[in-house]
Each structure stands twice: as structure tokens, then as C-alpha cells.
Chains A and B, each alone.
Chain A
Amino acid sequence: MSGGAKVLIIGFSFAMIVVSFLIGIWAKRKADTAQAFFGGTALFGPFVVGLSTMSAVASAFAIVGIPGIIYATGNPMSFWMLSSAAFGMAYIILGKKVRAMAELGPISSLGDISDLRFQKSRYIKAVMSLVLFLGCIAYLAAQIKGVSVMFAHLLGWNFYVTGFLIFGVLIAYMIIGGEAGGIMTQAFQGLVMAVAGIIIIIGFFVVTGGFGNVLDAVAKAGAITGGGVTKKMSADFLNAWGILPGQVSMVYMLIPILGTVGQPQVLTRMYALKNPRDMPKLGLWAALSHAIVGFLAIVMGFGALYLVATGKIAPLAKADTAAAVFADSLGIWGQLLFYATVLAAAMSSASMFLSLSAGIISRDLPAAIGMKAVDGKTQIKRFRITMGVLGVIAVALALTNDSMVAILGTFGWGTLMSATFPVFVVGLLWKRASKEGVAVGISLALVLNVICFILVQNKFKFPGGIPWYFNVIVVSIAATILVSLFTSGASGKNLDRAVEKVLDL
């Protein structure tokens, strides 16, 4: 990479970090209550919430990791990245019910909704918070590690300085602006991702001449050897299922589509919307911006395949360099926009998961274990301290402990889904979902997440090659439903009258 390109990337990245910081400070005036500070509750319109939701969902892994998987295995992962319809589905399933819960009482977190639905069950809140924390901290560590490594390598800076500089600013603006600031900065970062995505997609068509040329090149390439690496290609690579067993496509389709409704970054944004009647508009903004970013990941994977198939570059020694290698082929502007997109994706996801983790530690878990409630100002003070301490610990651990990041990497989308489906999806769609049923379902989710983690570490293979988290999700949902059929706590006739109105809405 040329010196000019590096200067441009540094300049643009610095500008983006500064603008994010300024937005975070500006948002402070919006965060004047505990609900606004913790949840941005009922504060924003559909455009801001839509971009914020998309950017928090699409992490740096979507921009860097997914093109690598497509390069390595073909199209199964395309199902995941083309899951833009998931937002409409999520809002149809739970949008009005989650937003309506904010009319019943002060809602600042998912734990507050759980309290209202399950009559302040401390057990459900505690276990759900633990599983959510596991998933959130995993995402956070992965964003910190990935971006610090990439930018330190790119710019030739010290790894620790790079990490603390980028995420130090992020921690600072999240402490100042809270979740209200987080939503606004994520919306800005989402806009950067969408605009950069459109330009890179255009670049893909310029470089390759379109998908027909990619298919033609890949179908005819056969086995290509270069730099000591051999890459086998065929037309089957680019059919719908790629070169993996079909059940992988099944999981990569169902889990992101239906799982989106169970992601905290989607659920929390449902109650951040000012007017619930704007939720369909929110669905459109989220879907359109996600469509751009999802397609971006696809074209970068296809672009790398094209470059190798046509002999323009040697086969990649590491598949996860596919996106960066393709960006290089676009020239200086392609490189600039690629790194800006990665940075925006990492910062938006990291800020969301930092805020959620801090909320769990400072608010939800203390309440769940029976600690005395405090006033709003004290809550905000505790949240800020927790965010600062947790943020610094997360950055330090992510940068110094490779094995911990790898271990945490086991948890993620599926872990979060296993925590939220019993409580919110089953709980808010079904009046008969009982306190006991949800307690059993979510307990199984916690235990099985840990057991499966141990099994995965010991190279255990689940039947049919189905990912472990799919098994956990199914067991937790089925147990919730089964136990609810025979128990009645906080369900049926024991439902709170106001909650019943929400479930009827």
C-alpha cells in the first residue's frame, strides 16, 4: 500500500472517530433521564434507529470474515448476508409488543421488559442477564481484537496504542452520551457503511465486469496453484449451496433470518423508536441499509474469487484476507472505503455491546440478586463507572489474551438467541408462556451453552454437522413451551392485566 493511501486512511478514520465523539457529546442533552440514558427509550425516528440497528447487527466480521468464508466455501454464507428481510420479520413478530411494553412502565433495558412480563422474576432476569453478558462480551472482544490487529498492521503502529486509541475514544463518548449517544453514533457509522458499500459495489462491477464474468472465470478455472497454495474451483462453488453440505445452508438461512428478532441490538432498538406506527418505516431503512452492506460482503467474496480465477493474484494463503485483497484491487479509494467500513462496523457493534454489558452489570444483575434500587442519577453514575472500567478491562484483555478472545469467539449470535427466545419471543407471543417454563428454558440455555463450549473445545462434532448453538436454541425453546403447558406462573389467568393488553395488541 502506498504512503498516500495510508495517510488518507488515517485521515478518514481519524475524522470518523472525531465525528463519532462529537455526536456522542451532542447526544448528552438528549440523555436527561435514566430511560433515555440507558435505552434511548422512545427518543428517535425510524431513519436513525434503522441505521443504528443495521450497523449494530453488521459487525466487522460481516465485512472481513464473511467474504473469506465465501471465498473458501462458495455461497452458503450468502444466505446469512442476504437476510435483509429479517428486519421486517422481526418487527412483524415482536415490534409492536416490545414497543408497547414501554407504555407500561419505565423501560431502560431488556431486563426491565422481563420484569414486567414475568412479574419481577429475579431468577429469569439473572439467568438471562448472564447469557446475554456472555454473548455481548464475546462480540465486544472480537471487535476490539480484529480492528486493533488490522489497523496496527496496516499503519505500522503499536498494537496496544492503536487499540486503546480507537476504543478509548469509543468508551469516552459512550460514558458521556450513554445509549442515546450510542444510537446516534451508530446511525452515523451505519450511514458511512452504506455509502462506502455502494461505491465498493460499483467498483466490483468495474473490476470484474459483473457476475457473469465471475461465474465464467470460476467455472473454468479448475485447480490453480501459486505461492505454494492450491485453490480448486468449479461452477458448483457458485450455486446456491456452495461446496458445503446442504444442512449448512439451512442453518445459515434460518438462524440469521429468525434469529434477528432475538438479537439485543434489534430488540432494544424497538423501544428506542418514538412512534410505534413508524416501525414499518424503520423496517424499510434497516432492510435497505442491510441490503447494501450484505451485498457488499458478497461482492468482495466473489471479487476475490474472480481475481484468483483469472490469475490476477495467487490463491490466498488465508481466506480471511479475501476482502482486503479485493479492496486493494480497487485502488486507493477502494482501500480507503474498505477500512472506513470495517472501522464503522466494529465501532458500532462494540459500542452497542459495551453499553449492553455495562447495563447488565450495573443495573440488571444487582436488581436480580436483590440489591436495593437506587434513583436515576445514581444509576447513571454507576453505569458510567461500570462502562469505563468494563471498557478498559475488555480492551486490555482482548489485546493481551489471544486464547480468551478465541474462547469467547465460541459465543455469539446463537448464544444471544438462546437467551432471548424463551423470554421475549415465546413470552410475548404466548399468554400461556409461564414463569416456570421460561425459567427452565433459559436455564437450559445457560447450561447447554457452557457444556457445548466444552464439547466444541474438545472437537466434538454434532450430528449432521449442525452447529452446536442450533441444538441449544431448539432445546431451550421446546423446553419453554413444554413446561409452560403444565405450569401457570405469570401466565393465562395469572397474567398482569396491562401485560395481557400488550400481548393482545
Chain B
Amino acid sequence: MERKQDALMVAIGLMWLAILVMGWNGVWLPAMILSVFLMLAHMALGATHKGKIDKKFFLYPLAAWAALWVASFSLSAYFADVFKGTVPSFTILGFHPSFAWTILTYWIGGILTLSVGLYACRDGWLSEADWEGFKKEIAEIKAQGGKA
């Protein structure tokens, strides 16, 4: 299990480097999409309990959020290209069709997945039993004269 975590952390380092190099070279849209996976890797490591991640929690909010943001950046880029140098022929809720996805999927979608999702699926992130179990383990280590 710890090897998987080692691999994920190495992947995080490599993704940071790749995003930087892509940014230097102006390959920014793939870099933005790669950064979604960078953030997902951080969250997966953070949500892990004793080396395992709750599958439901991974699907929602984490994977749902990642899909939403990849779609967000792709749609923003698509409509920015379609209407480059022209007045857009339609708007979405009054927004430029490219910027609308920043509002709908990046901003509101981000809150609905990560913030609301964390609240709705809080037991998949930290259950009462896990927290109480942790406190018990720490109390035992302290009682044994551990360094805690």
C-alpha cells in the first residue's frame, strides 16, 4: 500500500514539473487539464484512511469534480476559439459562452462537488468511528510512554 502512495507522490512531483515545462512552452490547455489530475492526486492522498480510500468518496465528490473541471476548461477553450475576434452569437445566462463555464462548472460546480460533496459524504472522509479510534490509539501510545 505504501508503495502506491510513494508512486502517487512521485507522480505529483512529475506532474508539477510537467505543468511548469508546458507553461514555459505555451502548452497551457493540456497543462490546465493535467493540473486537475495533480489536484486529484493530492485529494486522493488526503482522503486515504490507513492506505485505502473510500470508493464512494472517490467517485463523488472527487472524480465527479475532476470530470466537471476537465469539461469546464475544454468548453471554455472551445467557445473562446469559436468566437475569437467576433461578438458571440448567443450567451449563456448573459455570459460569453466561453466564460459561462468558468461560472457554471469551475465556480458553482466546484462548490457543489468539493464543498457540498465533502459535507454530504463526510463519513467517507472521516467517520466518527475512525476519529474515535484514532484518539484511542493516541491515548494508548501516550500511556505506554510514547513520544506523542
B9→A501 contact, CB < 8 A: no
A220→B87 contact, CB < 8 A: yes
A78→B111 contact, CB < 8 A: no
Q: Note all chain B residues with C-beta closer than 8 A to A464.
A: 23-26
In this assembly, does B67 line the interface, its C-beta being within 8 Å of a C-beta of chain A?
no
Q: Which of B80, B99, B138 lies at the interface centre, i.e. has the most chain A CB atoms within 10 A of its CB?
A: B99
Q: Tell me how far the C-beta of A502 lies from the nearest C-beta in chain B, rounded to whole angstroms.
A: 8
In this assembly, does B64 line the interface, its C-beta being within 8 Å of a C-beta of chain A?
no
B97 closest partner in A (C-beta): A239
Of B38, B103, B111, B134, which contacts A88 at CB under 8 A? B111
Q: Note all chain A residues with C-beta closer than 8 A to B102.
A: 75, 78-79, 82, 240
Q: Note all chain A residues with C-beta closer than 8 A to B9.
A: 426, 429-430, 432-433, 481
Q: Note all chain B residues with C-beta closer than 8 A to A89.
A: 39, 42-43, 114
Of B26, B43, B116, which contacts A246 at CB under 8 A? B26
Given the interface pairs A212-B94, A215-B95, A471-B20, the reply to whether A85 lies near B80 with Cβ below 8 Å is no
Can you list, as one digit per residue, whether each of B85-103 has a CB less than 8 Å from chain A (1) or not (0)? 1111001011110110111
A window 226-276: CB within 8 A of B: 234-236, 238-241, 245-247, 249-251, 253-254, 257-258, 261, 276
Main secondary structure of the interface of B (DSSP, over half): helix
The 9 listed contacts between A and B (C-beta, < 8 Å) are: A88-B113, A92-B46, A92-B118, A212-B95, A426-B9, A429-B46, A497-B141, A498-B141, A505-B49
Q: A239-B80, A429-B45, A464-B24 are in contact. List 11 more A-B contacts (CB 8 A).
A: A82-B106, A93-B45, A212-B95, A235-B96, A246-B29, A247-B31, A254-B19, A281-B119, A291-B111, A433-B9, A504-B50
Question: A residues near B, CB below 8 A?
Answer: 75, 78-79, 82-85, 87-89, 91-97, 100, 103-105, 210-215, 219-220, 234-236, 238-241, 245-247, 249-251, 253-254, 257-258, 261, 276-277, 279-281, 283-284, 287-288, 291, 294, 425-426, 429-433, 462-464, 466, 470-471, 473-474, 477-478, 481-482, 485, 496-499, 501-502, 504-505
Question: B residues near A, CB below 8 A?
Answer: 2, 5-6, 9-10, 12-13, 16-17, 19-20, 23-26, 28-29, 31-32, 35, 38-39, 42-43, 45-47, 49-51, 61-62, 65, 76-77, 79-80, 83-88, 91, 93-96, 98-99, 101-103, 106-107, 110-111, 113-119, 122, 125-126, 128, 130-131, 134-135, 137-138, 141-142, 146-148
